[in-house]
Amino acid sequence: MSHKVLHMARKFLPPTASFIYNQIIHHERYVPEIIYCEESESVFRDKLAVDYPHYKAVHGPIGKTMYEKFRMLSPADKDKLKKFIRNSGAAIAHIHYGVDALVFAGLFKEIGIPVLVSFYGYDCTSFPNRFKGFGRTWLQKRLFNNSGITAYTAMSPDMKDDLVRLGCPEEKIIVHYHGSDPRPFYQEREYPNKKDIQLLIISSLTAKKGHLFLLRAFKAAAAASNKNLHLHIAGDGELREEIEQFISQENIKNVKLHGLIKYGGKEHHKLLSEADIFVHPSITTESGEKEGIPGALIEARSAGLPVVATYHAGIPFIVEHGKTGMLAHEGAVAELAANIVQLANDHEMRAKIGKQGQQYTLDQLDVVEKEKDLEKIYDRLMESQAAASQASKRQKAGRASVNAQA
Residues 167 and 192 in one domain: no
Residues 229 and 120 in one domain: no
Write the CA distances from 223 to 195, 211, 226, 241, 345, integer angstroms.
Answer: 14, 18, 8, 25, 13
Instruction: Kindly state whether residue 310 falls inside one of the protein's structural domains.
Output: yes
Residues 167 and 214 in one domain: no
Domain range for residue 338? 184-364
Instruction: Kindly state whether residue 272 falls inside one of the protein's structural domains.
Output: yes
> Phi/psi zone of residue 304: left (φ > 0), alpha (ψ -120 to 50 degrees), beta?
left
What secondary structure does DSSP assign to 368-406, as a single string? HHHHHHHHHHHHHHHHHHHHHHHHHHHHHHHHHHHHHH-
Residues 24 and 120 in one domain: yes
Give this prediction's pTM. 0.87
Last residue of one domain, picked from the residues 178, 205, 236 = 178
Residues 69 and 153 in one domain: yes
What pLDDT sits at residue 145?
97
What pLDDT sits at residue 386?
86
Task: Round to whole Å and give the CA distance between 57 and 65.
Answer: 13
Backbone φ and ψ of 337, nearest 5°: -60, -40
Residue 183: DSSP 8-state:
G
Residues 157 and 193 in one domain: no
**pLDDT one-digit tens code per residue, 61-89:** 999 999 999 999 999 999 999 999 999 99
Instruction: Kindly state whether residue 379 falls inside one of the protein's structural domains.
Output: no
Last residue of one domain, picked from the residues 158, 178, 198 = 178
Instruction: Kindly state whether residue 384 falls inside one of the protein's structural domains.
Output: no
Residues 248 and 148 in one domain: no
Whether the pLDDT of residue 204 is over 70: the answer is yes
Can you give the CATH number for the domain in which 229 is found? Answer: 3.40.50.2000
**pLDDT one-digit tens code per residue, 254-313:** 999 999 998 889 999 999 999 999 999 999 999 899 998 999 999 999 999 999 999 999
Last residue of one domain, picked from the residues 130, 156, 178 = 178
For residues 383-389, average pLDDT: 85
**pLDDT one-digit tens code per residue, 100-142:** 999 999 999 999 999 999 999 999 999 999 988 899 999 999 9
How many distinct structural domains can be found in the chain? Answer: 2
Amino acid (one-letter) located at 343:
L
Residues 310 and 225 in one domain: yes
Task: Round to whole Å and give the CA distance between 70 and 304.
Answer: 45
The contacts of residue 265 (CB under 8 Å, 6+ apart) are none
Instruction: Kindly state whether residue 109 falls inside one of the protein's structural domains.
Output: yes
Residues 114 and 224 in one domain: no
Instruction: Kindly state whether residue 34 falls inside one of the protein's structural domains.
Output: yes
Task: Round to whole Å and give the CA distance between 15 and 40.
Answer: 8
**pLDDT one-digit tens code per residue, 211-262:** 999 999 999 999 999 999 999 999 999 999 999 999 999 999 999 999 999 8
